[in-house]
Amino acid sequence: MYSRAYKSVASIPPLLWVGVFLLLPYALMFVNSVWAVREGLIVHQWNWDNYKTLFTNPLYAQVLFRTMRIAASVTLCSLLLGYPLAYYLAFHAGARKDLLYQLVIVPLWVSYLVRGYAWKTILGSDGVLNGFLQYFHLTHEPVGFFLYSPFAVVLMLTHIYTPFVFLPIYAALEHIPRQLVEASQDLGAGSFQTFWRVILPLSMPGLLAGATFAFVLSLGDFLAPLLVGGPSGTMIANVVQSLFGAAFDWPLGAAISVGILVITISLLFLSEILEKRWAFK
């Protein structure tokens, strides 16, 4: 057993970390959100007008709605890519498992920005993809919507977050005792029935964790829309960024941030509850 003194000393660093890097910034952000801007200056005057704007100005609701739609698309696409990949690696890859696993992980070591610019090069009007399509006469002029569109944002974010979805699903699948798969086959279930009735339910906690990663990380992303989104692909984080930058309306930006924070935390709670419901020993 550890002594009381040891326990108190050991808990100082994490508490300090949470306090300085999480609670303090959140508190500052919240305080900012109830201030106001008068004649280009932030005045410390307690009011809820920023939150009113958030609910009454349809522009913000529209961007927020688009952001959630993009995040949902990214989640869906990375699940559709990540789950089969994880399933193959966990059950059928055999000796190639380690190599393939490394290949999935390697992109995580490449800078986010580099990957963003790579997509620009691929999707642009004179990019790789359009060049390819024209070379084979599949199209006659550059296709415009590849770049600077919600499509491009979804594509890039899916590329970036698929490993995050893959990892928890793979971990969950690896932990399923192989004897359960044999038991299922023994009781007359073919591959599909075994997947549907045994493997999918038992990998649910991993699937939820992966989906939460993809959705929450996409929700707060501002680099992908900045690089490949264009005006039609603007997301809520870009609005916040511009409010803190050129528009110089920190209070409104802070109010939006608090809104996103509330959504994110609610989602994390929900996923936590669902994961617990699906967790089995």
Partner 1 sequence: MSASAANPPEQSTTDGAALLEVRNVAKRFGALDVLKNISLNIASGEFLTLLGESGSGKTTLLRLIAGFEQPSAGEIWMVGERLDILPPYKRRVNTVFQNYALFPHLSARDNVAFGLRVKNTPASEISGRVEEALGMVKMQGFAAARPCKLSGGQQQRIALARALVNRPQLLLLDEPLSALDANLRKQMQSELKSLQREIGITFLFVTHDQEEAMALSDRIALLRDGALEQVAPPREIYAHPATAYTAQFIGQTNLLRGEIRGSIATCGALRWPLEETDGPVIFSLRPEAIRICADGKRQTNEVKCRGSIRQQLYGGSSELLEVDCGSGQTLRVRIPACGPLTGEHEFIFSLADAVRVQE
Task: For the CB of residue 249, give the shortest distance to partner 1 in the complex, in Å.
Answer: 50
Q: Which is nearer to partner 1, 2 or 192 (CB)?
A: 192
Q: Which is nearer to partner 1, 50 or 184 (CB)?
A: 184
Q: Which is nearer to partner 1, 31 or 187 (CB)?
A: 187
Other beta carbons within 10 Å of 27: 11
42: three-class secondary structure by DSSP: strand
Angstrom distances, CA of residue 44 to CA of 30, 34, 35, 249: 13, 8, 5, 13
Q: Which is nearer to partner 1, 113 or 180 (CB)?
A: 180
Task: For the CB of residue 185, give the shortest distance to partner 1 in the complex, in Å.
Answer: 4
Task: For the CB of residue 251, give the shortest distance to partner 1 in the complex, in Å.
Answer: 49
**One-letter amino acid identity for 64?**
L
Task: For the CB of residue 269, give the shortest distance to partner 1 in the complex, in Å.
Answer: 22
d(CA 140, CA 145): 15
Q: Which is nearer to partner 1, 133 or 189 (CB)?
A: 189
Instruction: Say which DSSP state 214 is in.
Output: H
d(CA 31, CA 10): 31
Task: For the CB of residue 194, give the shortest distance to partner 1 in the complex, in Å.
Answer: 8
Express the helix, strand and coil content of the chain in percent, nearest 5 each: 80, 0, 20
Q: Give the binding site for partner 1 (CB under 8 A).
A: 177, 179-180, 182-190, 193, 197-198, 201-202, 278, 280-281
